Structure 1
Amino acid sequence: MEPTAPYNHRFYQSNQKTLPKTFHKALRRDISLLSTILPNDIIVKGFEDRIDLYSIMIIGASGTPYEHCLFFFDVGLASSYPTTPPQVHYYSFGNEKVNPNLYVDGHICLSLLGTWNGHGSENWSAETSNLLQLAISIQALILNSEPYFNEAGYEERRTDPIYQEQSRIYNEAVVALNLQSMISIVQNPFPHFRKEIIKHCVDKCKKYLCLLENWASLDSVEYGRIKAIDQSSSSSLTEEKLLLPKFPLPPVSKGFQLSVRRHSIVLSNLIKSHIDLNNTTNTD
């Protein structure tokens, strides 16, 4: 819990002066859940002077094109909460969408928020829905392994080889755009989470860059070699398959390779400068 909410929080101006007992009861429930079972790769910050505001940082899950990448959201609770769902704003760090449900202008399509068609438990419930569920839903349902099929009506196309290839191509674009977003995030850290961003980059970006290089190496030749091993020998299969992502990506295009390798150098240099600055500060 932070002492004061930042003035640039998306919903700072919507100050809820009078909050009813139902709001406080729901908030106590949410805080209890967030403080006990929140996953390590999701950080939720509340503010002592504005209990109606929250900010969320989500780390992309393993096995998705969002792995190791950072995503930021501001949350505002109306006085009618939990009868009405939270307002949520997504912060984009580029000019192109990295997911069908996340818009550059900050709009989010999610049934839990009432901004997407849903059924039953997919929709917001005053009795059972909460901030923990919201954060986990964004990570699991939106930032998933095949975001191409998040588009309305696309789920039924999942078994069609034509659309499977479109999903793979979409994942190429997502990985490349995520990398460019990470560069922007490191250059201008999101104010609410500056310390967490730097710590994540220092701790995890080496793994992220290695992962990107592995993915960039999977052109048609390398991918074909690994597939041939898969078909001919099970003894060496385990080590080779570790190179393969757990989502549709290879064989990657030449354009993907060039973009990822070029931007990886930029991110690596930025991280190195942060580490050097941190070491200098600690020495002083």
Structure 2
Amino acid sequence: MDLLRAVIIGAEGTPYHDGLFFFDVFFPSSYPNVPPHVHYHSGGLRINPNLYNCGKVCLSLLNTWSGSQKEKWIPGVSTMLQVLVSIQGLILNAKPYFNEPGYANLSGSISGKRNLWSNERTFIYSLQTMVYNMRRPPKYFEDFVVGHFCKHGRDILVSCKAYLDGAQVGCLAKGGVQDVDEGDKSCSQQFKNNLAKFITILVNTFLDWSQGLSRIPFFSSKGNWTSNYCS
């Protein structure tokens, strides 16, 4: 096998929650003595300091980023599964702001509060990525994309409503709110304005894309919820 396409679902408690993130993997002839080449389907968006809009993935394990010798690819030890787990845990994490070079030690500082702003921007990019994937689902993953957004569409819109009501981006998980940063516990007004505008695009995409499905989740133009959710 020379080529692989993989998808990672954004984890709860992060600004990537419920999103789909696709990666193409090429295994060179010298694999597994050298790491695979990984390309991210960005849709032109840089949703993380380690995921470029050109598709480059910066990760020590892939030898595309600096790191200690034990963090880099080790022949006979490192695996493709380890790469995917690292992307989900180290890149698509709860505080992507601190993935920026030199920012890792700012967590908890005044400068570290910028993470809240970064999470807001990241969530908007994540929503844009959802729309991109619904409009242009990667080949062979069309049914998966349909099933995912049919199952999680309501959760996505419920989260949007919670953020409009003031919850911090990334603090939501099944069953309630978790891991709220100290300080200002509400999203910025600019974020709320941007989110309110984008919800219309998101809902219209759900509606346009879901032609033929019997029941879909949606948020009306007046902000009222309906009971017609995907099962």
TM range (shorter): 0.7 to 0.9
Question: Which residue pairs with 2:145 in the alignment?
Answer: 197
Distance 1:247 1:191, change over 3 A: farther
Q: Which residue identity lines up with residue 150 of structure 1 in the other structure?
A: N
Bigger relative CO (Cα 8 Å, ≥ 6 apart): 2
In structure 1, the residue matched to 2:189 is 254
For the pair shown, which has the larger CA radius of gyration, 1 or 2? 1
SS at match of 1:71: strand
Equivalent pairs: percent with the same residue? Answer: 36
- Greater fraction of residues in helix: 1
The number of aligned residues is 207
* TM-score (norm: length of structure 1): 0.68
Q: Which moved more, 1:263-272 or 1:58-67?
A: 263-272
What is the CA-CA distance between 1:120 and the residue it aligns to? 4.0
Q: Could you list the runs of 5+ residues in structure 1 that have no partner in the other structure?
A: 1-50, 224-240
Residues in 2 aligned to 1:175 and 1:277: alpha-carbon distance in whole angstroms: 29
Residue 208 of structure 1 and its aligned partner are, at CA, apart by 1.0
2: CA distance between counterparts of 1:179 and 1:204?
13
Q: 1:158 matched to which residue of 2? A: 107
Q: Residue 103 in 1 paired to residue 52 in 2?
A: yes
- Equivalent AA in structure 2 for residue 93 of structure 1: G
The amino acid that maps onto 2:198 is H
Alignment of 1:28-43 (within 5 A): none
What is the distance in 2 between the residues matched to 1:168 and 1:66?
A: 14
- Partner SS for 2:23: strand
Q: Is contact 1:54–1:76 with CA below 8 Å preserved after alignment? A: yes
* CA shift for structure 1 position 180: 1.6
How far 1:154 sits from its partner (Å)? 1.4
Maintained 8 Å contact 1:179/1:260 = no
Query: Alpha carbons of 1:65 and 1:245: their partners in 2 closer, same or farther (altered >3 Å)?
Result: farther
Query: Which whole-Å CA distance do the structure 2 matches of 1:128 and 1:183 have between them?
Result: 38
1:58-207 paired onto structure 2 within 5 Å = 58-94=8-44, 96-160=45-109, 162-207=110-155
1:53 paired to 2:53: no
Moved more, 97-106 or 148-157: 148-157
Q: Structure 2: which amino acid aligns with 1:267?
A: L
